[in-house]
Chains A and B, each alone.
Chain A
Amino acid sequence: MPEIPTGYDMSDATLDGPVLSADGKPLKQSLNNALRKQKLRALVLIAPLLIFVLVSFVAPIGSMLMRSVQNTAGVEYVPDLLPNVVVAIQDWDPSTRETPPEAVYRAMAIDMATAFENKNHTQLGRRFNYEVPGISSLFRSAGRPVSRWDIATDGPFKEKFLDLNDGWGDVEYWAAIKANSGYYTSSYFLAAFDAQRGIDGITMKEPDQRIYQKLMVRTLGLSLLITFCTLALGYPVAWLLADLPLRTSNLLLILVLLPFWTSLLVRTSAWKILLQDQGVINDFWIALGFTERMTLINNQLGVVIAMTHILLPFMILPLYSVMKTIPPSYLRAAKSLGASNWTAFWRVYFPQTTAGIGAGALLVFILAVGYFITPELVGGADGTFISNRIYFQFAVSGNWGLAAALGTLMLLVVLILYFVYDKLVGVDNVKLG
């Protein structure tokens, strides 16, 4: 809204003072009222979607991501389950490499008995087992005997714990308990970065044990490669579709959409049959006279082939819808002005399709980064993605904290890439049609 000129340079006296609308209210106010009503109506219209997104998407994802820093064992926080231990252990310094003092063992006896009563002691064991393997059996086996001890008379408890299991004298175990005695923990993120916390502080794991870094790099690298492959294969197809008369192009478009409508699992399994050692392609290859069968599946190559095929429609459709809007006369004009075929394409046609390329590439890349089932089925040993590990941590191992930390990192990486992409290409230039 242009600013209303004020006071001293006014020549027309009637404009002095606020402008009024027909009903006598200041124009600015009545305009605001009208706009507010419109906004409210718009809000009411999108409210169902907004509430749906908040309830079924933002809230669960938010609470899931929070688990990456919450120090919980089951549904309870660790310091709530070990109230006496977390206080007593503060005075103990693991770097002396001496076992904690009697007060800590006594506190553990009290907390363990309570935890056993509430069936929480094994949850605690599982929680600390994420930090040091082997500790969960200590907690599981100690619950029942410790609950029978009399805290007032049965001390000293250090010896009693050591009698139960030598593991209770392991400084490393106690250091892990001390390091994870707060309400929040950085352990899951450390693990997601392939680091570990020992008695002497945080260290990186051995280079050959750094699986999450490797998986992250591989996931991003293969996704980029797949995006590029879909672009290289999809661009000519989209152009052909946009260029043909409507009846033919509709027919061909169905051929693009048909696999799109077919189940993902069916398409992945079909690639297994085609690509395996005794599969159709290799049989054909042998029939051509070659003697060595090719390894096309259960490796990265198989993942790239299968995912390129599966994600191809996500590249073709945005490209097609953008190309459809480019008048063919532009190319003809360029050629009639003396441009070669290549120049006409590269300097006239291609720049107009970048919006479609941007949309297609962004779609395919983001879908590929989160892909799970295809790498699981055709990836073999070296073609799995980070999502496969997130699934493992979530569903098989039950380490939701680490799964959440990996998921958060993945989300951050994608957001950063999106930001970089926005700076380089400009998301405003992306067109889906």
Chain B
Amino acid sequence: MKLKTTLMATGATLVAAAAFAQDNMADSMTVVSWGGAYQNSQVKAYIEPYVANNPGLNVITDESSAEAVTKLRAMSEAGNITWDLVDVTAADGLRLCDEGLAMEIDPDEILADAPDGTPASEDFGNTLVGDCFIPQIVFSTTFGYRTDLLAEAPTEICDVFDTETFPGKRALERRPIGNMEWALICDGVAIEDVYDTLETQEGVDQALAKLGTIKDDVIWWSAGAETPQLLADGEVVMGSTYNGRLFSAIVEQDQPIGMLWDWQMFDLDGWIIPAGLPEDRLARVMDFVKFATDTQRLADQAAYISYGPARASSAPLVGQHAELGVDMAPHMPTDPANAINTFLFNFEWWASYRDDLDAQFQAFLLQ
């Protein structure tokens, strides 16, 4: 009897606390992401279950992540922040944090612990970049190749630069990031020396000269969807893009494309909360973020898209694709078999040198 009363009392307190929390939270929330299959995976894994728990909540989705920095800057200048939660790459997150446009967070305070009690800061580990970024996924920029158009399958990144053994066009992104690193690695520079080398003019010239050896065989892309299309059309025999795009082409569309994971470039994607939100909206967003970045939710997202969860504790929970039933683990960039040679996109370094290298890269393209 006594136990029952205690339980009931606790229950009543919990319900009251929940109701109180509900009162303090806005009943509408604008979530900004990238659109397409990626945003869909977020809707399925985070937003739909959250709305099921919080009936009456109106979630507005926006697809403006590509222009997030510019738009948040304009919103901040106008003094009217209309977004509650924004999905950005780590580099953009770092920049928004630098500019004071994103709210600083304490991961252990606002994010859920792992099921075994590991604090969030430890569970997320080195994916926590800067003071504002709340990581979700690890994705990589890597290469796919046509299995039927090449006499032998490329096995290492430097095969991209070998047009004799692997004739045909290649698709590379029209920006220096990634390409410069790969060029130097294939020109004999050790991975740990790559960024030091790129800080010197000789290093930049060396990387551009290496890219120059295949320049006539390159189609430069600017949208991630271009490479899968170019591969499917047979326009190129190999090309770089985000690994999730290649997964769709291979598994969902059954294209004759193979993955070349060697020296894939890891990148992170996650949330930032815009600085200066009113209290009720902030309370709502904090509640959502805690839910959406817990171990199970991040693992759930991997059932819809082949990007690795940013939490270590989510990895063992990654199961099968929600519709196709294939095992997702081998398609994850973080899978041990795929992650033999990798490097992490050096956000801070590129934040300092991007403008300069981009100008030189454009000049190289114009020659």
Contacts and interface: CB of A to CB of B under 8 A. Distances in A.
Given A122-B99, A397-B354, A376 B222 contact: yes
Contacts of B234: 278
B103 to A, nearest CB: 11
Contacts of A382: 365-366
B359 A398 contact: no
Contact of B366 (A137, A214, A394): A214
Interface in B57-81: 66-67, 69-70, 73, 77
Interface string B151-191: 00000000000000000010000100000000000000000
Nearest to B233: A278
B126 interface: no
A397 B355 contact: yes
Contacts of A389: 362
B355 A395 contact: no
A426 interface: no
Interface stretch (B18-26, B288-296, B345-353): B345-353
A140 interface: yes
A23 to B, nearest CB: 54
A135 B99 CA distance: 16
B4 to A, nearest CB: 53
Interface in A45-97: 74-75
Contacts of B199: 134
B360 interface: yes
Contact of A129 (B174, B219, B355, B365): B355
A268 interface: no
A398 B70 contact: yes
Contacts of B362: 211, 389
User: What bracket does the count of chain A residues touching chain B fall in?
Assistant: 35 or more
A380 B352 contact: no
A119 B95 CA distance: 12
A209 B359 contact: yes
Interface string A18-31: 00000000000000
B353 A134 contact: yes
A119 B101 CA distance: 10
A119 B100 contact: yes
B108 interface: no
Counting chain B CB atoms within 10 Å of each CB, which of A134, A381, A395 scores highest?
A381
A380 B222 CA distance: 10
Contact of A122 (B66, B98, B219): B98
B352 A133 contact: yes
Contacts of A211: 359, 362-363, 366
A132 B240 CA distance: 31
A277 interface: yes
Contacts of B99: 74, 119, 122-123, 126
B233 A133 contact: no
A392 interface: yes
B220 interface: yes
B254 to A, nearest CB: 19
A397 B358 CA distance: 9
A228 interface: no
Interface string A116-138: 00011011011001100111110
Nearest to A209: B363
A223 interface: no
Interface string B209-241: 000000100111010000000000111000000
Contacts of A75: 77
10 contacts: A122-B99, A130-B355, A133-B356, A136-B352, A140-B348, A208-B367, A211-B359, A298-B219, A394-B70, A398-B73
Q: Which 3 A-B pairs have the closest CB atoms?
A: A133-B356, A122-B98, A119-B100
Given A140-B98, A214-B366, 14 more contacts: A119-B99, A119-B100, A134-B352, A135-B352, A136-B351, A136-B352, A209-B359, A210-B363, A211-B362, A276-B235, A380-B220, A381-B218, A382-B365, A399-B355
